[in-house]
Amino acid sequence: MSEDTFNHVVYSRNVLEFVTVAGEYCKLAESAEQIDLKSLVSKLQKIVALLYLKASMLPEVEEMLEEAPEKFVTEDDYDYLLRILKRKFGEHDAYYEVFDPMIQYSETPLPASLSENLTDIYQDLKDFILAYRVGNLEVMNDALFECRKNFEDYWGQLLVNGLRAIHNLLYGGADLSEENRFKIPKIQTEEEPEDEENPDWILKQQFKNFREEE
């Protein structure tokens, strides 16, 4: 690559710092099944707040390609992570939304899902990271353009909404011990054999491959 290439905005400090934080968020989401609930919520409090800060500092860029950046996170990947997070949060997953365009049409607060918010954010960030790491300047530029736009239009609000719910879990007296939280159907327990015919086992291997690319 030429020196001019590395002077492009996609290699600027603010972008590289965002890539780093986004990568840490994705790693945390992918490892949620192995972390106890209280530690997970505590880690999310910090990474979500930092992610919002770094995303707000992303520079503006113009699109360079006619086609949208490639998507890497499949519907199955999304559903698998969502089930993990729903099971992890259990009865603490639901909270009432206060910043939603539809709330003006409702007489009561709208229910929201913390696991769904976090998975939506993960999907966009993972697609961005993997597109960015292709190493092609135009692809990196357009991945940055799309990620910044999605932050402004969609998942930036999910971040602050989720942080409110996370703050309440940490300081609102919620019992975050694993044994006392509401249980929902498990995907697979440690006692169950690894079944290579099980779709969840296959998706778990995909997550391992994702982490190896980090």
CATH number of the domain encompassing residue 155: 1.20.120.1550
Supply the pLDDT for residue 69. Answer: 87
Q: Which residues neighbour 101 within 8 Å (Cβ) at sequence distance 6 or greater?
A: none
Structure tokens at 47: 């990474």
Average pLDDT over residues 88-107: 72
Residue 17's pLDDT is what?
A: 97
**Residue 98 confidence (pLDDT):** 65
Between the CA of residue 87 and those of 30, 65, 67, what are the distances in Å? 14, 40, 37
Pick 201 or 43 by higher pLDDT.
Answer: 43
Range of the domain at 42: 3-213
Torsions phi, psi of 51, nearest 5?
Answer: -65, -40
Alpha-carbon torsion, ordered 29, 163, 15, 68, to 10 deg: 70
Please tell me the least confidently modeled range out of 55-64, 142-151, 176-185: 176-185
Q: How confident is the model at residue 191 (pLDDT cuts 50, 70, 90)?
A: very low
Confidence of residue 111 (pLDDT cuts 50, 70, 90): confident
Helix (H/G/I), strand (E/B), else coil: 84: helix
Q: Are 186 and 87 in contact (CB under 8 A)?
A: yes
Q: What is the pTM of this model?
A: 0.79
Q: What local confidence, expressed as pLDDT, does residue 211 receive?
A: 57
Please state the domain count of the chain: 1
Q: Which three-class secondary structure state does DSSP give residue 111?
A: strand
pLDDT at 198: 47
- Residue 59: what pLDDT? 96
What is the predicted pLDDT for the residue at 188? 38
pLDDT in tens, 42-53: 999 999 999 999
